Amino acid sequence: MSTSARVTPASLRILLEQVIDYAGLFPPASLNMRTCVANYSSYLSHRQSWALGRFVLPLARLEEFVSAQERTASEMWHLSGIVSANAVSDLAAADAFNRRACGAVVDAVEVRVSTPQEIELVAKHQPQGAAAFFEIAAENANELLPVVSRVGGFAKLRSGGVSADAFLSVDTIAVFIERCAELGLPFKATAGLHHPLCGTHPLTYDANSPEATMHGFLNVLTAAAIAWEARGSVQLATLATCLADPERANWHFGEDALTWSGDEEPMRIELETLRALRSNFALSFGSCSFEQPIREMRELDLL
């Protein structure tokens, strides 16, 4: 039996490059800071470290992060900071942290907003050089996404959570993605995206956890690729079908393209489009586990 490592096809490598923002501090993992820092440090030397994105933490816990961090002097960590209700104070703390040169940089912030005024406040005070991701409720998308675009921010989609009723419908996610594509507005996704493909899974890591239908990150990324390529002319039904497709056989990752064949006509996404997608549109997804998405990709014979 051959022991050589599987070669990751170019289309899959591009789709997953630095895509998983590690959020082990948050539910359902809810690990302590020291454990999360140790985990992230180990992931930096993981065979699939190329899929690892930022370390996600509350900005209010930056000093705790500094105390816990164990790292090599040559490795710069990229952090995404969650903004609390004390937005101005948190953003000032992030800016001060970056000026201290602690071997890590807050180059993204994430904040939940519900009004245009909150968006403008964060945009005014965000750390220099940091991307700002604005999490908005799906029902406010039409009102707030244009404001996010106007201030040069990015969108954040919360697709699920630790209860069944926290998960958005595929139709709601399709509308959100399509609207972002129409605006040319980059976004990240988070919550409940531990699995490559949608399906019924335990909601938490508890032994007796209830189960529910959860979204898959390959579904979301592929739907985003379809929307990005067909900006302004995509059929929402096609995006919803892609988001709801649990069949591994419908995904083919080649050296020249990604093909999804779960609709009436196969969708072929060329490498150039995938590169543009990841650079300009579907930027990352947050997961409280890095190992689970990688393990399940291997179980699907993708890595």
Note the pLDDT tens digit of each residue in 154-210. 999 999 999 999 999 999 999 999 999 999 999 999 998 999 999 999 999 998 999
Tens-place pLDDT, residues 267-278: 999 999 999 999
Tokens 């000093």, residue?
63
CATH code of the domain containing 213: 3.20.20.70
Of the candidates 212, 224, 207, 200, the residue with the CA atom closest to the CA atom of residue 276: 224
Q: Which pLDDT score is estimated for 3? A: 43
- Number of CB atoms found within 10 A of residue 117's CB: 10
Decide if 258 is inside a domain.
Answer: no
- Let me know if residue 87 belongs to a domain: yes
**Tokens matching residue 293:** 């998405």
Strands 257-260 and 131-135: unpaired
Inform me whether the pLDDT recorded for 232 exceeds 80: no
Predicted confidence (pLDDT) per residue in 28-54, tens digit: 999 999 999 999 999 999 999 999 999
Residue 110: inside a domain: yes
b vs e for 143-172, b when ≥16 Cβ sit within 10 Å of the residue's Cβ? ebbebbbeeebbbbbbbbbbeeeebbebeb
Measured between alpha carbons, how far is 179 from 64 in angstroms, rounded to an integer?
38
Residue 233 pLDDT more than 60?
yes
Is 100 among the domain residues? yes
- 6 within a domain of the structure (yes/no): no
> If you write DSSP's letter for every residue of 49-113 in order, what string do you get?
GGGEEEEEEEGGGHHHHHHH----TT--EEEEEEP-S-HHHHHHHHHHHHHHT-SEEEEEEEEE-
Classify residue 154: in a domain, yes or no. yes
Q: For residue 243, is pLDDT > 70?
A: yes
3-class secondary-structure state, position 244: coil
Averaged confidence pLDDT in the chain: 94
CB 155 within 8 A of CB 144: no
Per-residue confidence (pLDDT) for residue 73, from 0 to 100: 44
- Mean predicted confidence (pLDDT) in 100-120: 95
Q: Is residue 90 situated within a structural domain?
A: yes
Residue 131's pLDDT band (boundaries 50, 70, 90)? very high
Number of domains in the chain: 1
Fill in the amino acid letter for 156: K
Per-residue pLDDT for 72 more than 60? no
Q: What is the pLDDT of residue 2?
A: 40
Confidence at 74, pLDDT banded by 50, 70, 90: low
266 domain residue, yes or no: no
CA–CA distance, 59 with 191 (Å, rounded to integer): 19
The residue range of the domain holding 54 is 19-218+282-298
**CA–CA–CA angle 82, 88, 91 (5° rounding):** 45
Between CA 131 and CA 136, with CA 133 as vertex, the angle to 5 degrees is 165
In this prediction, residue 230 carries a pLDDT of 86
Q: pLDDT-derived band of residue 5, with 50, 70 and 90 as boundaries? A: low
